[in-house]
Structure 1
Amino acid sequence: MNSLVLLLIGAILFLIAYTTYGAYLAKSWGIDPSRKTPAHTMRDDIDYCPSNANVLLGHHFSSIAGAGPITGPIQAAIFGWLPVYLWIVVGSIFFGGVHDWGALFASVRHKGSSIGEIIRENLGQKAKTLFNIYAWLTIILIVAAFTDICAGTFAYDPATGDLTGARAGTASVLFIILAMAFGYLVYRKGANLAISSIFGVALLFFCIYLGYTFPFIKLSKMGWNIILIIYICAASTLPVWLLLQPRDYLCSYLLYAMLIGGFLGVIIVRPDMVINASNGFAVVSGNSTSYLFPILFVTVACGAISGFHSLVGSGTSSKQVDNEKDTKLIGYGGMLIEGLVAILALISVGAFQGASGTPAAIFSSGIATLMSSFGIPVEVGKVFIILAFSAFALTSLDTATRIGRYVFQEFFDKADGTSTKSIGSNMYVATLVTVGASCILLMYGYTKIWPIFGSANQLLAGLALLAVTVWLANSGKNYKMTLIPMIFMFAVTLSALYLLIRNFLKAGNIILCVIAVLLFILAIVLIYTAATIMKNRKSKDLSA
């Protein structure tokens, strides 16, 4: 199969889905452009701040993209390109897109509250507590995994003299300084967004040039761990307009540039997929056997659906939505764009069978080879792709930390959802506890954390779909579009988590095994609680 055909089919189907299925969802859910959003009614310019739709798309897209849509499809390619491609397309349209948009819209209708608060209002305080425990455990896994990924990417090894990490780290630090200046000028000095964006993007690529030419930050992995821990603590508590939003907005142009470069390369080169279309249901890798169900659906992760997206949508993005009509572009559109990234990642491994190494190395090698067709030297292209990859891993990291802070603070809310003056509800304390718990897991490293993160993350998607489904049902709206994906994700992820528990026991990874067991039990109890409450409510309605 030619890769250009796969890319065009995916892009066309995504465009059709956005226009048609997106319109159907908007009508079914009752999107109301005249209704004021929490960004206006609760504005505080720290967390709640109305934003231009394109700026917010940049923040949201950068936060949800991360390393997932690249790492997942490349790892899942052991099953063959066809099942991975089908899940990316079908999953993005009917699962991930609906999940992301539904969580964002539901949060907007609940004063920008988290998924946990939506569960409280529709299922009660007990259900909220169970969900928030689950979500917080998942977040500390995310923070630990992405801290390890970023530190490893930025680390400089004087023994080899390889400057790739130092270049990426230097450019990323320069990005942060640029983003804060951009946020201050646009949101505090009223600078024109269009003009500021032009200069901001130009300076963004100048930062890449400086980082590539003068990689003056040369730290070990441990050094970067310390720097990143300090950074995410600050990013969790600083006003969203000063760092998180402008940084993600500017960095989104890196991914747009990468997408355009990849598209042009595929159009010019038109490489055929050289890996097998399918390798069967069971695939032997090393000493273990992976099964298409459920492993494929967990491994592709963010390339089709991701529970972390619901935390971003209800954690930061919903507090910045200027108009309800913008939720379609940000929630549904953002996921479909991520689907395109996942297809490019699949092509990077499927059309270049000789590629080896980490997913980041495979992706950068494949896309750089494609970009060389229009004059970009392969080595320069590799550095650019690595920089983009690391930049998005970092945006997911700082966003996850902030969301972890939100969730932890909600543990100390009153029964009616209002905040208390407890020390646990303090944003600095909540940040330190979240980051501290993640630091404990850092000792396991990314490779051991990722499998449980993948399963927990996808099960979180099922729980978020549960929250949206119950809310839609209680509101008298059509909820079939979230119910069917919810049931499927529960079947996939509970099966995968069970397999992980067995593997952790055999390997002696006690802490990860305990976390996996807790996640499994919490999910079962929450599903049972929701089913019981919904059944009781239906019985009351029938008897009334």
Structure 2
Amino acid sequence: MISFFVALLGLIIGYFIYGSFVDRVFKPDDRKTPCVEHPDGVDFVPMKPWRAFLIQLLNIAGLGPIFGALSGAIWGPSVYLWIVLGTIFAGGVHDYLTGMLSMRNDGASVSELTGKYLGPVMKNIMRVFSVILLVMVGVVFMVGPAGLISTMITGGKKTSTATTLTAIFTLIILFYYLLATLMPIDKVIGKIYPIFGICLIVMALGIGGATIIRHINGSHPMIELWEGFKNMHPKGGAQPIWPLMFITVACGAISGFHATQSPMMARCLTSERQGRHVFYGAMVSEGIIALIWASAGIAFYNVAGKPFSTAGLLAAGGGNSTTVYKMSVELLGPVGSVLALLGVVACPITSGDTAFRSARLTLADWFKIDQSNIKSRLPLAIPLLGVGYLISFLDYNIVWRYFSWSNQTLAMIALWTGATYLTRKVSAKCGWIATIPATFMSAVSITYFCFAPECLNLGSKTNGTTISYAIGILGAAIFFGIYLFKVFLPEVHSKHNHHSSHIAHQH
């Protein structure tokens, strides 16, 4: 329990200290924001900061900080370190920079931002990459809650009735997604998100409180970091912490999906000075939610009197609708579980709808299609939702695995975009707050791509793990080298020449 509270305190302190530092580096000012400059009543709609914060939190949360954290907890309490450090130094920086850069570029989507700062080739790559990712996110957050509602009704029994119910609820959610994608942001999303946001927060507090009580009474002790600071995955070396845990936790530490969501709120904030509270603050809040669910998952399946183990969590499938249902019912009882499950159901739905909405906006930015008229929104929204529905028939776990890798790869690219902006527009030194996590995430993504069975599958080969590590580190070093020669060194050289010219002029 001590590890949990130290990690929780670390996230809170990180928001106030490092979040403030990042804000000072970026230097928000009093320039007019996109929604003040040209409100359109659809996507560029002024909102109060507290409402924008709750919408941003629900946009980015989804199933990630719940399913991802529970799955990441299979590796043991070392997941706490990644949630805390990843949130503060990677995820928070990532979300803040993409949101603030969007505000300074007329609410541009992440693909357009990438093109501006990394070049036209990367722009086109990100356009395709981000749309595919957003559709996959929409599918994950459509099938997941539909399965969870079905689980609630059938009591977790896997029958033909459960399958039919899942299909019906998938169609209902899809219809809601169509409405949320087409309607002005303040008509649906702006009205219901604050309510669901409160449910999400109360649900997390309830799960966390119940876990602490069970730890105190000794029935399900939480594992301290120093007691499980190793790879606790029951499959051991076949499932190494690096890079698998760093990909699995995803939204609970850093997520490229957030880079597609932050521009939506960038179009609704009335001042740049609201950015730290909305963008960095929402990411820290998500980190807290992930920490609660990770610690709850470890403790829930850790029975007193037995050796510390995460085998029970692995046997339950890690993060999935059945696991969440079982934990909610046992930890909070009938009344509390309804509230908890409402938060868990609403959470992914309120990310799925904005995923498709963001995909529509990305395509609109790509092809320069004005979105003020519903007739111009329909031709983009309907095909996106149709493709999403077809993908929903694929195996959920396969879609999630591909989403996890592409998600962290997008985060890597977004961080390099932020690093380039800071180095060129602020100072050469300031770029490091994004360069370091960008390099780290490059190593994670490349290593995973080499190791994972759905990618190159080197992990199944002799010495494949070592080869994957080497390729990942080498790839990150190459990206870092490109950054130095293309962005950092020219900036330093330019400033040196300017300084020399100034001295010469004085003499």
TM-score, with length taken from structure 2: 0.81
1:471-509 alpha-carbon deviations (Å, 9 max, x no partner):
112213311111100000010012112233656889xxx
Counterpart in the other structure of 1:119: 114
**Among residues 52, 60, 67, which one is paired with 1:64 in the alignment?**
60
Report whether the alignment pairs 1:480 with 2:428: no
For residues 417 and 35 of structure 2, what CA distance do their matches in structure 1 show? 22
Counterpart in the other structure of 2:335: 380
**Among residues 150, 155, 159, which one is paired with 1:155 in the alignment?**
150
1:231-250 alpha-carbon deviations (Å, 9 max, x no partner):
21221111000012222222
Q: CA deviation at 1:84?
A: 0.3
Give the direction of change, closer, same or farther, for the CA distance of 1:505–1:462 in structure 2 (3 Å limit): closer
For residues 539 and 125 of structure 1, what CA distance do their matches in structure 2 show? 24
Q: CA deviation at 1:262?
A: 3.4
Counterpart in the other structure of 1:306: 255
1:238-277 alpha-carbon deviations (Å, 9 max, x no partner):
1000012222222101012113323443554444315994
**Among residues 1, 15, 23, which one is paired with 1:26 in the alignment?**
23
The percent identity for this pair of structures is: 24
Report whether the alignment pairs 1:391 with 2:346: yes
Letter in 2 for 1:483: T
SS, match of residue 405 in structure 1: helix
**Among residues 291, 294, 304, which one is paired with 2:240 in the alignment?**
291
Counterpart in the other structure of 2:276: 328
* Aligned CA-pair RMSD: 3.3
For residues 432 and 127 of structure 1, what CA distance do their matches in structure 2 show? 27
**Among residues 12, 31, 44, which one is paired with 1:35 in the alignment?**
31
Give the direction of change, closer, same or farther, for the CA distance of 1:369–1:439 in structure 2 (3 Å limit): closer
Give the direction of change, closer, same or farther, for the CA distance of 1:452–1:62 in structure 2 (3 Å limit): same
Q: Count how many residue pairs are aligned between Structure 1 and Structure 2.
A: 455
For residues 482 and 184 of structure 2, what CA distance do their matches in structure 1 show? 37
Counterpart in the other structure of 2:450: 498
Letter in 1 for 2:248: T
For residues 107 and 310 of structure 1, what CA distance do their matches in structure 2 show? 10
Counterpart in the other structure of 2:323: 362
**Among residues 124, 133, 145, which one is paired with 2:128 in the alignment?**
133
**Among residues 209, 222, 236, which one is paired with 1:273 in the alignment?**
222
For residues 353 and 93 of structure 1, what CA distance do their matches in structure 2 show? 28
Q: CA deviation at 1:340?
A: 1.1
For residues 198 and 482 of structure 2, what CA distance do their matches in structure 1 show? 43
CA contact (8 A) 2:145 2:345 kept: yes
For residues 230 and 156 of structure 1, what CA distance do their matches in structure 2 show? 21
Give the direction of change, closer, same or farther, for the CA distance of 1:227–1:383 in structure 2 (3 Å limit): same
**Among residues 409, 412, 419, which one is paired with 1:459 in the alignment?**
409
Report whether the alignment pairs 1:47 with 2:43: yes
TM-score, with length taken from structure 1: 0.76
**Among residues 220, 234, 255, which one is paired with 2:200 in the alignment?**
255
Counterpart in the other structure of 2:94: 99
Give the direction of change, closer, same or farther, for the CA distance of 1:344–1:330 in structure 2 (3 Å limit): same
The 5 Å alignment of 1:215-226 reads 220-226=165-171
For residues 420 and 443 of structure 2, what CA distance do their matches in structure 1 show? 19
Give the direction of change, closer, same or farther, for the CA distance of 1:543–1:275 in structure 2 (3 Å limit): closer
CA contact (8 A) 2:148 2:325 kept: no
**Among residues 145, 156, 174, which one is paired with 1:229 in the alignment?**
174
CA contact (8 A) 1:64 1:309 kept: yes
Uncovered stretches (5+) of structure 2, i.e. residues with no partner: 158-162, 303-311, 459-471, 499-507
Counterpart in the other structure of 1:143: 138
The 5 Å alignment of 1:80-91 reads 80-81=76-77, 83-91=78-86
CA contact (8 A) 2:102 2:266 kept: yes
1:68-92 alpha-carbon deviations (Å, 9 max, x no partner):
10111211222111x1011111111
Give the direction of change, closer, same or farther, for the CA distance of 1:147–1:323 in structure 2 (3 Å limit): same
CA contact (8 A) 1:282 1:292 kept: no
Counterpart in the other structure of 2:385: 435
For residues 132 and 526 of structure 1, what CA distance do their matches in structure 2 show? 20
Give the direction of change, closer, same or farther, for the CA distance of 1:311–1:502 in structure 2 (3 Å limit): closer
Give the direction of change, closer, same or farther, for the CA distance of 1:8–1:529 in structure 2 (3 Å limit): closer
CA contact (8 A) 2:76 2:232 kept: no
Q: CA deviation at 1:45?
A: 1.5
Letter in 2 for 1:302: C
1:437-483 alpha-carbon deviations (Å, 9 max, x no partner):
32332221311111111111111111111111111122133111111
Give the direction of change, closer, same or farther, for the CA distance of 1:365–1:151 in structure 2 (3 Å limit): closer
Give the direction of change, closer, same or farther, for the CA distance of 1:526–1:150 in structure 2 (3 Å limit): farther
For residues 64 and 473 of structure 1, what CA distance do their matches in structure 2 show? 27
For residues 483 and 503 of structure 1, what CA distance do their matches in structure 2 show? 26
Q: CA deviation at 1:279?
A: 7.5
